[in-house]
Structure 1
Amino acid sequence: MKANVGRLDKILHIVIGVLLIALALTGVIGAWGYIGVIPLATGVFNFCALYTLLGINTCKLKK
């Protein structure tokens, strides 16, 4: 897997993922909040399969 998630994108994915999971754990939102595992994983591993399908790459190019 080649990294395709940049720094800012990574931070946003992690924050959104943790927020959704926390809201699900506290009962504020339903069990669907556990879908936050997906953006959390994409942020941690720097890879998003959806980005690959759509041809998106937010990583800076190494020179």
Structure 2
Amino acid sequence: MQLCVIHQICNSLKYVSYKDQKLLIADLKNAYQALTLEEAEYNFEEFKKKNGVKSILW
């Protein structure tokens, strides 16, 4: 099991079409570069809503 977030993201990108990868990564950066836990959680929820990610996967 990989614990590093960067490795998890890179491995997950193989399931995303190439044309969508840049947009997905840009949206995800808001969550993992947040300064507070609350901000990160909020940004990640927004990321999931915008990109159609199911909660069970995360």
Q: Same-fold call, TM > 0.5?
A: no
Pick the structure with more helix per residue.
Answer: 2
**Superposition TM-score tier, normalisation by shorter sequence:** 0.3 to 0.5
RCO (CA 8 Å, sep 6+): is it higher in 1 or 2? Answer: 1
